[in-house]
Amino acid sequence: MSDHTHVRPWRHIERRKSRQIRVGSVLVGGDAPISVQSMTNTPTTDAAATIDQIRQLEEAGADIVRVSCPDVESTQAFRTIAREAKVPLVADIHFHYKRGIEAAEAGAACLRINPGNIGSADRVRDVIQAAKDNGCSMRIGVNAGSLEKELLEKYGEPCPDAMVESALNHARILQDHDFHEFKISVKASDPFLTVAAYQQLAEAIDCPLHLGVTEAGPLRTGTIKSAIGMGNMLWSGIGDTIRVSLAADPVEEIKVGFDILKSLGLRHRGVNIIACPSCARQGFNVIETVTLLEEKLAHISTPMSLSVIGCVVNGPGEALYTDIGFTGGGKGAGMIYLNGKIAHKQANDGMIDHIVDLVEQKAAELDAARAAELEAAE
């Protein structure tokens, strides 16, 4: 958010009140920031490749990363992976209770599991005890595509009632064993079904909710579907941690996740670029410029705003509310704005590098000011 603007009442989202749990070093729920997650797609048994992908996700800003542990070889590799990761790892466990115990002992911060799929009451108890002994939380992950047979027979098809009943049944198993460090997801590939299930679940239980539209699709269409589904829920205050499920590089999931939160004013990371779609009035190639700026500013994690507008119709107005702005004019030059005020004229030639320099300088100033505030508070 720009440092010279203020939060307007009509932009305020009141988040649902949920109890707070801990996923390693990350707090989830309560008043904690909404965390952004992704999942590795490398073979977990290839520890080096998985660690490398986790590094990429960490650099993109991931708060939590999930790693699949389908077999004993994977949980063996997980110990090495967890030791190298800087962010908490969630071990994805589906059916075999021993994998849950092994992952908890190997350093998992959270187990993604459905208690009802583990088997006997003794096995459930053993996994819960392993989680307690090793400081693990759990995520109950309900998916419309894998609902219990009895619920499908009862309701006839995947529906919000069936998904919520499944989630609450699983939650009850954990609660009966005095385990309360859990979050729940009720995902479907249909955004309408997803939203309806989460809305119903949000009223039925106070645990943190992990949001996602599962199997959303490829980068463009999956992003749109996720933004519609999760944006709807986040706008109404539902959601404590999110994962955008894309058939794309997992790093893109982190980028899209932060963009969704940024667009709703729920969390800010990196440069928020405001740009016009361009038209015949443009004084420079807006699309090419914005594409290059997005690439060159990807390393900036400091929250700030940048407007890049092709002409003077809306440019000056947009620049009033951004940290840095460039408005195209005529004769191969435009105006640079800093903190909403005209700073100087800038030729189109060299404009991109100049804007990058300004952004980097601004980031350094904001980081230094934030560090001074933290030092003074201590």
311 is in an annotated binding site: yes
Summarised one tens digit per residue, pLDDT across range 230-255 is: 999 999 999 999 999 999 999 999 99
Give the dihedral sign, CA 96/100/105/108.
positive
What is the per-residue pLDDT across 61-90, written as a single tens digit (0 to 9) for each? 999 999 999 999 999 999 999 999 999 999
Q: What is the DSSP string of 301-350?
A: -S-EEEEEESSTTTHHHHHTTSSEEEEE-STTEEEEEETTEEEEEEESTT
| pLDDT value, residue 242 | 98
- The pLDDT assigned to 8 comes to 64
- Given this model, what pLDDT does residue 3 score? 43
Provide the CA 303 distance to its chain's centre, in angstroms.
16
Do 112 and 47 share a domain, yes or no?
A: yes
Same domain, yes or no: 259 and 276: no
The answer to whether residue 2 is domain-embedded is no
What's this model's pTM, rounded to 2 decimal places? 0.89
Q: Which domain range does residue 281 map to?
A: 271-377
Q: Tell me if 110 is assigned to a ligand binding site.
A: no
CA atoms of 363 and 350, how far apart (whole Å)? 20
Instruction: Confirm or deny that 318 is annotated as ligand binding.
Output: yes
Does 276 belong to an annotated binding site?
Answer: yes
- 303 in the same domain as 213: no
pLDDT of residue 2: 45
Neighbours of 229 (CB within 10 A): 26
CATH number of 225's domain: 3.20.20.20
The total number of structural domains that make up the chain: 2
The answer on 220 and 167 residing in a single domain is yes
- Residue 10 maps to a domain: no
Give mean pLDDT, residues 274-280: 92
Q: Over 80: is that where the pLDDT of 116 sits?
A: no
pLDDT digits (tens, 9 = 90+) for 288-346: 999 999 999 999 999 999 999 999 998 899 999 999 999 998 789 999 999 999 999 99
Q: How many residues does the chain have?
A: 378
What is the predicted pLDDT for the residue at 6?
A: 52
